[in-house]
């Protein structure tokens, strides 16, 4: 694992009833970067997130975070080390305020002492929710719920944030706001790995793009390189024919 990498995946595979959901995948995520994982539905993107966060254990291969082998760790162990996940479908406590929802995240996550109030305030500010701090979660729009999900993950104080389709269902204005928020989070010190289908957002925000097809990593590189790769065009981006 390179000293500049926060996450290293080596030869990771996972099968379900004979179906290879992730097949011998290897890559590294540079510290302080925004890395996007793209691919068609069923490519293995969500399975990969589940492997990193400990919801599934790989059948083979190793996952290293901050120089430590976390292969097979439980979700709680992974969270204590500083990995948090923002899920695609936000499920807040609807009758609680935005602040109360985020505060719950601040009570968990990375091990060590913290000022819960300060952590909560910072997460709200980074996610652009400070003005909505006293609003009940049930009153939020789809775009605001996406930001709340990100804020709850941030409150866990991660050094690595896994964001699952944060732009899904957003209009262009909300997508632009989410791109700004993700950059702000990166600039505040977190490394980000995205699963995202919004290709303009991916190309705009990513330092590195990884492409999965049928569980295998078929391409990786800078956004402009990925956009020109014929394998990616055929497998995911589509052709003009």
Give the HSE-up count for residue 166: Cα atoms under 13 Å, Cβ half-sphere.
31
Fold of 1-72+197-241: Rossmann fold (3.40.50)
**Helix and strand counts by DSSP (H, E) for the chain:** 9, 10
Residue 3 has a pLDDT of: 61
Q: Report the largest interatomic distance among the alpha carbons of the chain, rounded to a whole angstrom.
A: 57
11-54 pLDDT, tens digit each: 999 999 888 999 999 999 999 999 999 988 888 899 999 999 99
Q: Are 127 and 154 in contact (CB under 8 A)?
A: yes
Bridge partners of 161, per DSSP, are 84, 192
CA distance 241 to 234: 11
CA distance 211 to 218: 6
Q: What is the 3-state secondary structure (H, E, C) of 104-144?
A: HHHCCCCCCCCCHHHHHHHHHHHCCCHHHCCCEHHHCCHHH
111-162 pLDDT, tens digit each: 888 899 999 999 999 999 999 999 999 999 999 999 999 999 999 999 999 9
Residue 241 has a pLDDT of: 46
Residue 111 has a pLDDT of: 87
CA distance 199 to 6: 25
Residue 4 has a pLDDT of: 87
- Its pTM surpasses 0.85: yes
Q: Are 160 and 191 in contact (CB under 8 A)?
A: yes
**Average pLDDT value for residue range 183-204:** 95
- If one counts every other C-beta atom within 10 angstroms of the C-beta of residue 64, the result is 17
All structural domains of the chain with their residue ranges = 1-72+197-241
Cβ partners under 8 Å of residue 194, min gap 6: 34, 35, 36, 37, 163, 166, 182, 202, 205, 206
| Geometric angle at alpha carbon 54, from 49 and 55, rounded to 5° | 75
């Amino acid at each position: 694992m390179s000293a500049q990498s926060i996450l290293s995946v080596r030869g990771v595979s996972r099968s379900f009833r004979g179906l290879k959901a992730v097949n011998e995948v290897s890559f590294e995520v540079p510290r302080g970067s925004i890395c996007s994982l793209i691919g068609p539905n069923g490519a293995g993107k969500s399975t990969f997130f589940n492997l990193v966060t400990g919801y599934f254990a790989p059948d083979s291969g190793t996952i290293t975070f901050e120089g430590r082998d976390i292969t097979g760790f439980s979700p709680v162990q992974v969270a204590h080390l500083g990995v948090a996940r923002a899920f695609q479908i936000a499920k807040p406590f609807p009758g609680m305020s935005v602040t109360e929802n985020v505060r719950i995240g601040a009570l968990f996550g990375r091990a060590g002492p913290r000022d819960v109030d300060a952590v909560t305030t910072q997460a709200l500010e980074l996610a652009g929710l400070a003005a909505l701090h006293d609003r009940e979660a049930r009153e939020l729009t789809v775009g605001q719920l996406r930001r709340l999900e990100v804020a709850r993950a941030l409150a866990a104080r991660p050094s690595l944030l896994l964001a699952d389709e944060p732009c899904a269902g957003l209009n262009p204005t909300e997508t632009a706001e989410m791109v700004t928020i993700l950059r702000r989070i990166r600039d505040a010190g977190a490394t980000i790995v995205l699963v995202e289908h919004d290709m303009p957002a991916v190309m705009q925000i990513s330092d590195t793009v990884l492409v999965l097809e049928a569980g295998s990593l078929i391409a990786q590189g800078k956004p402009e390189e990925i956009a020109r790769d014929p394998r990616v065009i055929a497998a995911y981006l589509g052709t003009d024919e």
